[in-house]
């Protein structure tokens, strides 16, 4: 990775230049990077906040529930060790361990949530101290939960729908590589920017190479409609000499980085995508998205038609 060639369009992407024996994909179609870092041990790789705000809602709910049951069990154990006689209003037969533990478990739940009905209450210093600590812990835990939930909701995301295919279409006197994207959500994106790179295995050097592709237009102010991203296959293009069959044999991958500002939260949002040869078509071009003006004078756009194309002969 210490080798860089002195050609302006060549780009070190942080990917290695190694030619793997099997074909690989660098970006998955959901935009995640197809790389696993290892060698630092589990703990040093772990980023709990990152995981909690990016995991699924179902997993997060499960984690919270498990934590709730565990913490209450621990405190129920502590209260039981202190002794059920130090709690007023328990109202269970003395000596019935299961019933006592269960009642203390619910007392714990009422304490950690600061609910505090008070039909059960601590008696004496030890029980009171334990309950005081638990309610403090509860408040801090819910402070953390507030942060995580806010982090999840406010996390800015770009919901971009990319065309299924990347097309090699007629363009002026020659050809161009084109794909199309739309914003799926009603929130507006402004100052949108696209960067496209390509990677393939150079047949001569047998090393993987990376190039930035020059686009007709790299930045637009608004994105209310679709955007067809165009890289002309002219003399400036580093891939003008290759055709679709080369794309397969040289393990081509087109890497897309999308950047914009979400107008609702005024924050940068990003999206990534990639096209491998099986999604690339020759002699085809995109068909316009259906657009109409409704009764209120609004322009209607059918975003689900982003992939629509026609084959040329």
Residues 34-53 that bind its own copies (CB under 8 A): 34-40, 44-45, 47, 49-50, 53
Query: Is 223 a binder of its own copies (CB under 8 A)?
Result: yes
- Using the contact rule CB under 8 A, the part of the chain among 28-36, 74-82, 234-242, 246-254 near its own copies is 28-36
Give the interface size with its own copies as a residue count (CB under 8 A): 137
Q: How far apart are CA 12 and CA 10, in angstroms?
A: 7
- What tokens does 251 get? 């393990």
Residues 235-254 that bind its own copies (CB under 8 A): none
Q: Site for its own copies (CB under 8 A): which residue of 29, 73, 187, 307? A: 187
Nearer to its own copies, 38 or 241 (CB): 38
| Residue corresponding to tokens 């197809």 | 34
Residues 86-125 that bind its own copies (CB under 8 A): 88-89, 91, 102-103, 106, 109-111, 113-119, 121-123, 125
Closest CA to 72 of 99, 100, 110, 98: 110
- What tokens does 189 get? 């994106």
Number of residues assigned to the chain: 313
Q: Site for its own copies (CB under 8 A): which residue of 66, 85, 174, 184? A: 184
Q: Site for its own copies (CB under 8 A): which residue of 2, 42, 58, 241? A: 2
Nearer to its own copies, 185 or 214 (CB): 185
Nearer to its own copies, 12 or 245 (CB): 12
| H or E element at residue 267 | strand 267-276
Residues 61-90 that bind its own copies (CB under 8 A): 64-65, 68, 72, 88-89
Q: How far is the CB of 241 from its own copies (least distance, A)?
A: 23
Give the phi and the psi of residue 216 in degrees, each rounded to 5: -55, -50
Q: How far apart are CA 186 and CA 105, in angstroms?
A: 46
Residues 252-311 that bind its own copies (CB under 8 A): 255, 257, 261, 263-270, 272, 285-286, 288-289, 291, 293-294, 297-305
Nearer to its own copies, 173 or 313 (CB): 173
Contact 195, 231 (CB under 8 A): no
Query: Is 154 a binder of its own copies (CB under 8 A)?
Result: yes
Q: How far is the CB of 82 from its own copies (least distance, A)?
A: 14
Q: How far is the CB of 276 from its own copies (least distance, A)?
A: 12
Q: How far apart are CA 87 and CA 79, in angstroms?
A: 9
Q: How far apart are CA 261 and CA 40, in angstroms?
A: 35
| Residue corresponding to tokens 């955007």 | 227
- What tokens does 173 get? 């006197």
Helix (H, G, I), strand (E, B) or coil at 86: helix
Query: Is 174 a binder of its own copies (CB under 8 A)?
Result: no
- What tokens does 103 get? 């009642």
- Using the contact rule CB under 8 A, the part of the chain among 11-19, 77-85, 234-242, 243-251 near its own copies is 11-19
Contact 277, 244 (CB under 8 A): yes
Q: What is the largest CA-CA distance in the chain?
A: 93
Nearer to its own copies, 25 or 203 (CB): 25
């Amino acid at each position: 990775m210490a080798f860089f060639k002195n050609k302006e369009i060549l780009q070190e992407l942080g990917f290695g230049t190694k030619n793997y024996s099997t074909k690989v994909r660098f970006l998955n179609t959901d935009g995640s990077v197809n790389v696993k870092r290892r060698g630092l041990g589990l703990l040093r790789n772990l980023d709990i906040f990152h995981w909690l705000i990016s995991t699924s809602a179902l997993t997060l709910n499960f984690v919270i529930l498990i934590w709730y049951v565990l913490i209450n069990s621990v405190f129920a154990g502590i209260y039981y060790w202190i002794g059920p006689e130090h709690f007023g209003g328990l109202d269970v037969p003395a000596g019935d361990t299961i019933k006592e533990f269960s009642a203390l478990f619910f007392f714990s739940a009422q304490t950690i949530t600061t609910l505090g009905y008070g039909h059960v209450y601590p008696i004496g210093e030890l029980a009171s101290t334990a309950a005081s600590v638990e309610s403090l812990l509860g408040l801090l835990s819910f402070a953390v939960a507030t942060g995580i939930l806010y982090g999840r909701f406010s996390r800015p995301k770009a919901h971009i729908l990319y065309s299924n295919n990347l097309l090699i279409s007629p363009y002026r006197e020659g050809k161009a590589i084109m794909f199309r994207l739309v914003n799926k959500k009603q929130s507006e994106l402004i100052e949108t920017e696209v960067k496209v790179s390509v990677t393939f295995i150079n047949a001569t050097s047998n090393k993987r190479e990376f190039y930035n592709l020059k686009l007709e237009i790299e930045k637009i102010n608004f994105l209310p409609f679709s955007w067809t991203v165009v890289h002309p296959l002219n003399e400036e293009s580093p891939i003008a000499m290759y055709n679709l069959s080369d794309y397969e044999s040289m393990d081509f991958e087109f890497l897309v980085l999308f950047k914009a500002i979400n107008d609702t939260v005024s924050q940068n949002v990003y999206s990534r995508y990639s096209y491998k040869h099986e999604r690339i078509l020759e002699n085809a071009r995109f068909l316009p998205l259906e657009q109409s003006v409704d009764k209120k004078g609004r322009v209607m756009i059918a975003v689900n038609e982003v992939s629509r194309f026609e084959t040329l002969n």
